[in-house]
Amino acid sequence: KIIHWDGNKASVVSENIGMTLNDIEGINSNFIIGVGTDFTPPGLAIYFDGNIWSNYPFANNSYSLNSVAIINTKDIYFGGDGIFETKRGSFSKLFDTGYYVRDLEYNRQTGLLVVTGAFDGLHIFNGSSWKNYKSFVSTDNSVYDGVFLINNTIFIVGSNDQNAKILIGKIQGD
């Protein structure tokens, strides 16, 4: 369910029975996308245009979609059983990551896109090329569930079988 708080009361504005909403992102009050799945398709991609929620027409819900990062209204990345992109109305799978994508985050100041996931999964896109850091940062089968970016600093949270983990790193030029 998506619930909207108007300052006085909360009300359900969208409900997708049988689907789990995992991530939501917007660039303004007239462009919000929510995605979800339960590790196996069908996926869910819904869109808010400022008035109503509806299926997002430029995503292929036959894939598992777990996270969304909006660059602009015409360029959107999705993570799940790979990394996907909607660019100018065309949806495509960019590549398989070798892990299930749990989160992806775009930094509007630096143009970096950071992708995290299971089995030590970490990819970084600098705007022109992808770099795979899977098993470079750790090799203990960590699951990285969340990522947050501030300027050139990356914060990643996750865990392995025994411990919670917080990674903090700086992005430097290639």
Digit-coded pLDDT (tens) for 95-116: 999 899 999 999 988 889 999 9
In whole angstroms, give the CA distance from residue 46 to residue 35. Answer: 6
What is the per-residue pLDDT for 39?
60
Assess whether pLDDT exceeds 80 at residue 1: no
Q: Which amino acid is at 6?
A: D
What's the mean pLDDT in 26-55? Answer: 85
Digit-coded pLDDT (tens) for 128-169: 899 999 878 889 999 999 999 998 899 999 999 889 999 999
What is the per-residue pLDDT for 17?
61
In whole angstroms, give the CA distance from residue 123 to residue 6. Answer: 37
What mean pLDDT value characterizes the chain? 88
